[in-house]
Structure 1
Amino acid sequence: MVRIQTTSARLCLLGIIFLLLAACSSKQTDISTPPTRSFEHAAGKTEVPVKPLRVASDQHMGQLLKLGIKPVAVRENMLKEAWIPYANLDEQALEGIEDLGGFPLNLEKLTLVEPDLIISALPNNQEQYSKIAPTVHIPYWSESYKTPMDKLLKIASLFDKTAVAENWIKEFEGKLADAQKKIADAGKLKEGQTVSVMAVFDKNVFVFGPNGAYGGYMIYDYLKLKPTDKVEELRNKDMGSAELSLEAVPEYMGDHAFITVVNEDKAKELLESDFWKSIPAVMNEQVYFYDSKIFAMDDPYSLEAQLDAIVNLLTGAK
């Protein structure tokens, strides 16, 4: 009788031990293989962590921070973005984010930060990044983005942050409505007058249309200012832009023009030309120059800074 009880006790003890070992093994498996899901992006579909904890990105830092996601590492220029001084970020917002160099990211440093997700803006970096961690390709510009908001929502969907993005969009739309009223009340831009958006680069001038960079989407798509007929033709062109010779600039000039200068020597050549001085917008002092760096990006912080800059130029505010 005693032997039977002792044997039973031993069997129970062994059963408990096996259960504990199975539970520990299950926990270890859970830790080493976090749940994933399939995410569709510009380069295909990738299995990504359901809740990424260590994100590295060579673009889109402004979108990530606005969504409440602090990347562990980014491309070097992102840590010096022009919007940062305007963003009123907390002192710790950028603290500890690793600098991974330019395009492509430094692969050795990228490996050392142990990302569980990498975001690539350029398709040719996809393969080498993917050897380090799951990588999704979210380009700076894409035909699938009708506005920068579409890109923000795409990035938000990667992190289950769609509600956060939608809340910011709603707030920004309120700011746009206030800005439109301020511009109308100021009377500087008369009803029916047209507007051009241009940038002076090293060789030629680029003109931007609806959904174009350097303020195109802000001025046409958000503030609803009127483009010239030739500018309207750029709506469906690649990058929403066209490259112009200096002599072709007057053809695209509206009653008002917003110009950003990337190359000062080339801008001097344009501004000192006779044909420039004969343009009605120039003679009427309705050409406005603004900081090119602020208008180079389309993240939420940049859009907020751009909106303030345009409103100030059209209302005379400081």
Structure 2
Amino acid sequence: MSKLRKSGLLLTFILLLVSVVTACGSKNNNASSGASLSASESASASASASQTASAPASSDDGATTKKVTDGMGREIEVPVKAQRVVALNNFGDLLALGVKPVGTINYYLDKYKDEPEAVAGIESVGDQEADNEKVLAATPDLIIVSNYFKPEVVDALQKIAPTYATTFGRTPYEQLDDLAALLDVEAQKQAFLDSFKAEAADAKEKLKGKIAAGEKVGILQFWSKKIYEHQTKVFTPLYEDIGFLPTEHVKTLTATTEVTQEAVPTNVADADRLFIMVDGQADIDTYNSLKESAWKNIPAVQKKPGVPRGQRTLERFQRRCAAMAAARCR
């Protein structure tokens, strides 16, 4: 694994992970195909689906397929060792597991344009939404989506190849466990986690003296002209591995929640710093406007800290976060 790839994976896990949440679904297969759910509906789907087992499978020794239950509660038959995966979600998770999809949408390809080796040879199966004809042309033996896709969209994909829905709202580590079991790449998962834990520990050490102990962070995601907040489990690595604390407001969240611009100052009043996730220049412009107007009295905004070495590390975390999107925050 190249230094760039390892760095990108670490930074992504630190600040989003994965399965962002993703307010996390592709604009494409959700909006254009009618597959999108509201944040509360997505959370509800996640809660109900998480009651069922996901990747643990039943198969006979020597069998080429196995039966699994996905995040939509469907029992489906999938390859024991999928060779040609089309990833409409969880693209970054698959790369972390050493599984290179044969196809994905341009959303992910664009996010990785600064890491050409990561996407070399991967076919586009649509722009901001999947084109089923292009998915078919990629000849997948497995398609991966998220369980916030509408059933009729998944049914159409199922006619092309076995389609597995991951569970929106799980922690980054739970998403990796699920996909590693599905794809039979447990060894690769453990290798990645060992590497990640070592790099996270190194990052934490480098941040000593740059980031005060016990700092609270407010995390806001701009997505499709809305703003979202996420419960703490979405950012498990940020809290558990780096050591930041959630705000008091975030502790009360049990699901991904849309928040108004007016409510943000109260919600992040006790934050020592803000992490802002954006999906393009329009979001950056909106944030810059807000911090000079409606959000100018937020304590974390007023601090306007300099950019010490440790802060640059955190900013790199944020930039890489958008590239993986997890399935979590997209």
Q: Determine if the TM-score, normalized by the shorter chain, exceeds 0.5.
A: yes
Contact 1:209 1:232 in 2 (8 A): yes
- Structure 1 portions without partners, runs of 5+: 1-33, 303-318
Partner of residue 189, structure 1: 211
Q: Deviations over 1:92-143 (max 9, x none)?
A: x53332211046521222222222222122532210011111111124x23x
Q: Take 1:177 and 1:113, find their aligned partners in 2: how far apart are those partners?
A: 40
Change (3 A) 1:109 1:279: closer
Change (3 A) 1:76 1:259: closer
Partner of residue 174, structure 2: 150
Partner of residue 270, structure 1: 290
- TM-score normalised per structure 2: 0.65
Name the Cα RMSD after superposition: 3.1
2:193 alignment partner, one of 155, 169, 177: 169
Partner of residue 131, structure 1: 159
Contact 1:205 1:249 in 2 (8 A): no
Contact 1:194 1:256 in 2 (8 A): yes
- Whether 1:110 aligns to 2:140 is no
Change (3 A) 1:157 1:210: same
The structure number with the bigger radius of gyration is: 1
2:268 alignment partner, one of 252, 256, 265: 252
Change (3 A) 1:276 1:129: closer
- TM-score normalised per structure 1: 0.67
1:55 alignment partner, one of 78, 81, 85: 85
SS in 2 for 1:277: coil
Q: Deviations over 1:247-289 (max 9, x none)?
A: 542442312222345524432331222x633333333324979
- Structure 2 portions without partners, runs of 5+: 1-62
Q: Take 1:54 and 1:72, find their aligned partners in 2: how far apart are those partners?
A: 6
Q: Deviations over 1:155-175 (max 9, x none)?
A: 111121012101211221111
Structure-to-structure mapping, 1:169-318, within 5 angstroms: 169-184=193-208, 186=209, 188-200=210-222, 205-212=227-234, 216-234=235-253, 237-239=254-256, 241-246=257-262, 248-253=264-269, 254-262=271-279, 263-273=283-293, 276-286=295-305, 290=315, 294-296=320-322
Q: Take 1:200 and 1:46, find their aligned partners in 2: how far apart are those partners?
A: 35
Change (3 A) 1:166 1:286: same
Amino acid at match of 1:101: G
Identity %: 28
Q: Take 2:225 and 2:90, find their aligned partners in 1: how far apart are those partners?
A: 28
Aligned residues: 251
Q: Take 2:285 and 2:244, find their aligned partners in 1: how far apart are those partners?
A: 30
Amino acid at match of 1:269: S
Runs of 4+ off more than 6 Å: none
Change (3 A) 1:172 1:264: closer
